């Protein structure tokens, strides 16, 4: 399965997962929760996810390093401040939060399988390979960062 490592850009995974979540009633079961708070909370979480991604992206641009998820070896700076103090992967966390919000907006509990799939897929095929590359590139500095900052939260 190494052939999938760093191949599919995470935004493509998010869009694909979102589409599958939207199609959940057709693919699996149409379980609908008629609750008004789901949409409101979902929209808030989606906004929080986008803002988390934007904040992390600004950190990359400010540090003048690559934001490309398929070429982590091109990074020129190890960012450990801002949202990177709380999680080593704030952009992926933001994407996961966005997907949880989308599941709530859809009001189908089975749509929550989407964010679960996303976290598993991104961890295996994106984060773990990135960590391997960043460990080689940044050595002890990255090891120290990993020891005090969690992968997700």
What's the structural domain count of the chain? 1
Residue 4 within a domain: no
Question: 38: domain range?
Answer: 10-148
- Measured from the Cβ of residue 128, the count of other Cβ atoms closer than 10 Å reads 13
Residue 3 within a domain: no
Residue 61 within a domain: yes
| The length of the chain, given as a count of residues | 153
User: Would the pLDDT of 140 be above 80?
Assistant: yes
Residue 117 within a domain: yes
Helix axes 10-22, 90-106, angle to 10 degrees: 10
Query: Per residue in 83-101, pLDDT tens?
Result: 999 999 999 999 999 999 9
Residue 5 within a domain: no
Q: Go through 38-67 and write b for each residue having 16 or more CB atoms within 10 A of its CB, e for each that does not.
A: beeebeebbeebeebbeebeebbeebebee
Percentage of the chain surpassing pLDDT 70?
98
- Residue 67 is classified by DSSP as -
Contact present, 103 and 42 (Cβ < 8 Å): yes
* pTM across the whole model: 0.94
């Amino acid at each position: 399965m190494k052939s999938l490592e760093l191949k599919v850009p995470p935004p493509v995974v998010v869009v694909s997962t979102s589409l599958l979540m939207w199609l959940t009633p057709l693919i699996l079961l149409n379980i609908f929760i008629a609750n008004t708070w789901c949409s409101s909370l979902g929209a808030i979480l989606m906004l929080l996810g986008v803002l988390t991604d934007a904040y992390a992206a600004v950190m990359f641009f400010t540090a003048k390093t690559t934001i490309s998820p398929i070429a982590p070896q091109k990074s020129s700076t190890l960012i450990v401040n801002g949202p990177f103090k709380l999680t080593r992967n704030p952009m992926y966390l933001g994407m996961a939060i966005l997907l949880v919000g989308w599941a709530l907006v859809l009001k189908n509990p089975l749509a929550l399988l989407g964010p679960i799939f996303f976290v598993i897929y991104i961890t295996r095929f994106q984060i773990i390979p990135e960590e391997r590359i960043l460990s080689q590139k940044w050595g002890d500095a990255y090891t120290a960062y990993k020891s005090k900052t969690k992968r997700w939260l």
